[in-house]
Amino acid sequence: MQVRTRHTPSFGVARLMLAPGEPVQVESGAMLATSYGVTVEARAQGGFLKSLARAALGGESFFVSTYTAPQQGGWVDVAPNLPGDLNVLELDGRIGWCVTKGCWLASASTVQVETQWGGFQNLFGGEGGFMTHVGGQGPVVVSCYGALDVVTLQPGEYVTIDTGHVVAYADTVQSRLRQMNQGIAQSLKSGEGLVFDFAGPGQVLTQTRNPRGLVTWLQANGLGARS
């Protein structure tokens, strides 16, 4: 599979170029268009229990859509829900990545997509805790809200990042999930909640906008979901 991106960095779309008969894994609902003859099948990725964990704990869809190109080859266009940039991770079989909620978009069929424990479970905002882990070989497309920043950490170098701004981080990076301030009262005063402490070596991908901030703004302006 080859990936060609367009409309970045603001409204990214990824075109997944497929060889004859080649399948690709896509987040449910992310497909924008396909070439004629491409077939689709919704599958419970890794079986029922793993798919249930992915949906209930990782915040992703229960089903993963598998698109398969016809004998002449084809393509699939995918796009995220929120406006922003796209990034393609080229997995080499040695280093996997942890991807946060809602940021995994698509990956080659040779990539394993699983749910992984990333720290303690955040019961209040749904961030952190369980994450999507990708490993194996091949390209993985991740999306972000806003622009993408890459933080490259040297061995022994540390950084603290708000959970809502983390897109993904390499397996070589050590991570710890914690409260920014001591106690709920202090967190409410500062507007900060949970943060990740990262230690190098390795890369951390971040997004310049926080989806949680969008939800808060919509609710404050009476535009949130109504029952």
For the chain, list the domains and their CATH numbers: 2-220 (3.60.160.10)
The per-residue pLDDT for 226 is 57
The per-residue pLDDT for 3 is 98
Other C-beta atoms lying within 10 Å of the C-beta of residue 18: 24
Other C-beta atoms lying within 10 Å of the C-beta of residue 68: 18
The per-residue pLDDT for 52 is 47
Q: Tens digit of pLDDT per residue, the chain (227 long)?
A: 999 999 999 999 999 999 999 999 999 899 999 999 999 998 755 444 454 444 444 445 557 899 999 999 999 999 999 999 999 999 999 999 999 988 999 999 999 998 765 544 333 333 445 688 999 999 999 999 999 999 999 999 999 999 999 999 999 999 988 887 765 444 444 345 789 999 999 999 999 999 888 888 888 888 765 54
Q: Which residue has the tokens 């991908």?
A: 205
Residue 135, helix vs strand vs coil: strand
72 CB burial (10 A radius; 0-12, 13-18, 19+): exposed
Q: Among 53, 48, 78, 52, which Cα is nearest to 65's?
A: 78
Q: Which residues make Cβ contacts (< 8 Å) with residue 226, sequence separation at least 6? A: none
Whether the CB-CB separation of 49 and 43 falls below 8 Å is answered with: no
Which amino acid is residue 56, in one-letter code?
A
Kindly provide the b/e burial profile for residues 136-174, where b requires at least 16 CB atoms within 10 angstroms of the residue's own CB. Answer: bebbbbbbbbbebeebebeeeeeeebbbbbbbbbbebbe
